[in-house]
Structure formats: structure tokens, C-alpha cells
Amino acid sequence: AQRVTQPEKLLSVFKGAPVELKCNYSYSGSPELFWYVQYSRQRLQLLLRHISRESIKGFTADLNKGETSFHLKKPFAQEEDSAMYYCALRFTGTASKLTFGTGTRLQVTL
């Protein structure tokens, strides 16, 4: 069965400090991994996906198949990065079902 684990419920960092939100997954096939973000009073939205290999809002994430991880990183945290972050996995089945982790709240303080 596929599973996504986000070990931290809350990550608090100072503005300008590096950020790493951890995500590990278990899946026997070739997964597609995503990071979704939910800012305060806004809906869930896609931040980035591993296949596009983009940097969005300064965030990057590299899929490490050996460690089955997809950690989200940003070198310098900004106040506006404070939000709830969800890691999600999708496999190519009959439905494009997303399996989400439990989420990590990132709090960036001055």
C-alpha cells in the first residue's frame, strides 16, 4: 500500500533561516510526488511536482528513490512562507488518486 509520512507536525524557523520539510513515502512502483500548500484562509494549491523539476517561490524538492524521500527545501525562509504544507503521492492507475501526508505547519518568525 502506498503511504506518505511527514514526521513533523510543526516546524518553526526564523526569517532568513533555511527550511527543510521532510517527506518519506512507501510505494512499490514509480511514484509521482507533489507538494501542496495551504495559506491561511486559502484553498489547497499545488506548489510543485517532482517531474517538472521547477523552483517555485524559492522552494525545491528532489526525489530520492533510494531513500524514498521528497523533502522540500528553501535556503532562506520568508514570513509569507508560513502555511500548511502537504506532501502527496500519485500512481498511474485508473484514477489519478492523490495520497497525502498529514501535513507540516511551517511557522516563520522574525
Partner 1 sequence: ETGVTQSPTHLIKTRGQQVTLRCSSQSGHNTVSWYQQALGQGPQFIFQYYREEENGRGNFPPRFSGLQFPNYSSELNVNALELDDSALYLCASSQSGSSYEQYFGPGTRLTVT
Of 88 and 108, CB closest to partner 1: 88
Please, which residue, 32 or 82, has the CB nearer to partner 1? Answer: 32
Nearest to 90 by CA among 37, 15, 29: 29
Cα–Cα dist 110/108, whole Å: 7
DSSP string over 16-41? TS-EEE--EEE-SS--EEEEEEE-TT
Site for partner 1 in 12-71 (CB under 8 A): 32, 43-46, 49
Tell whether residue 10 is a contact of partner 1 (CB under 8 A): no
Could you list the residues that contact partner 1 (CB under 8 A)?
4, 6, 9, 32, 43-46, 49, 86, 88, 90, 92-103
